[in-house]
Chains A and B, each alone.
Chain A
Amino acid sequence: MTAALALLFDFGLAALVLIVATWTLMTRETAAAAVGFVAYGLLLTLVWVRLAAPDVALTEAAIGSGVTGTLLLGAAARLRSTEAAAEAEQPGRAMRFVVALLCASVSAGIAGAILMLPDPAPTLAPQAMAALPSTGLGNAVTAVLLSYRAIDTLLETVVLVLALLGVWSLAPDRVWGGHPGPLISSNQERVLTFLAQLLPPFGILVAIHLFWIGADAPGGKFQAATILAAMWILAQRAGLVDAPPVSRRWLRLVVVAGPAVFLAVGFFGSATAGAFLAYPEGYAKPLIIAIEAALLPSLAAALALLVAGPPARTESR
Chain B
Amino acid sequence: MTLALDILTVVAVSAGAFFFLAGTVGLLRFPDSLSRLHALTKADNLGLGLIVLGLLPRAGGVLGALKLIAVWAIAQFASAAVTQLLARAARTAEPPA
In contact, B85 and A189 (Cβ under 8 angstroms): yes
In contact, A194 and B81 (Cβ under 8 angstroms): yes
Name the interface size band of chain A: under 10
- By a CB distance below 8 angstroms, the chain A residues around B88 are 189
Task: Give A246-270 as 1s and 0s: 1 = Cβ < 8 Å from B's Cβ atoms.
Answer: 0000000000000000000000000
Q: A195 within 8 Å of B by Cβ?
A: yes
Contact of A199 among B70, B77, B84, B85 (CB under 8 A): B77
- By a CB distance below 8 angstroms, the chain B residues around A202 are 70, 74
Question: What's the least CB distance linking A218 to chain B, in Å?
Answer: 14
For B, the interface residue count at a CB cutoff of 8 angstroms equals 8
In the bound complex, CA of A191 to CA of B84 (Å): 7
Q: B78 within 8 Å of A by Cβ?
A: yes
Question: What's the least CB distance linking A287 to chain B, in Å?
Answer: 31
Question: Number of residue pairs across A and B with beta carbons under 8 Å?
Answer: 17
In the bound complex, CA of A195 to CA of B76 (Å): 11
Q: A21 within 8 Å of B by Cβ?
A: no
Q: Which chain A residue shows the least CB distance to B73?
A: A202
- By a CB distance below 8 angstroms, the chain B residues around A189 are 85, 88
Q: A125 within 8 Å of B by Cβ?
A: no
Interface centre among A191, A194, A198, A202 (most CB of B within 10 A): A191
Chain B stretch 55-86: residues in CB contact (< 8 A) with chain A: 70, 74, 77-78, 81, 84-85
Interface centre among B74, B78, B81, B85 (most CB of A within 10 A): B81
- By a CB distance below 8 angstroms, the chain B residues around A192 are 81, 85
Chain B stretch 11-38: residues in CB contact (< 8 A) with chain A: none
In contact, B74 and A191 (Cβ under 8 angstroms): no
Listed from nearest, the 10 A-B pairs whose CB atoms lie closest are A195-B81, A191-B84, A191-B81, A191-B85, A198-B77, A192-B85, A202-B74, A195-B77, A192-B81, A199-B77
B residues near A (Cβ < 8 Å) are 70, 74, 77-78, 81, 84-85, 88
Provide a sorted-by-A list of 15 A–B residue pairs whose CB atoms are within 8 angstroms.
A189-B85, A189-B88, A191-B81, A191-B85, A192-B81, A192-B85, A195-B77, A195-B78, A195-B81, A198-B77, A199-B74, A199-B77, A199-B78, A202-B70, A202-B74
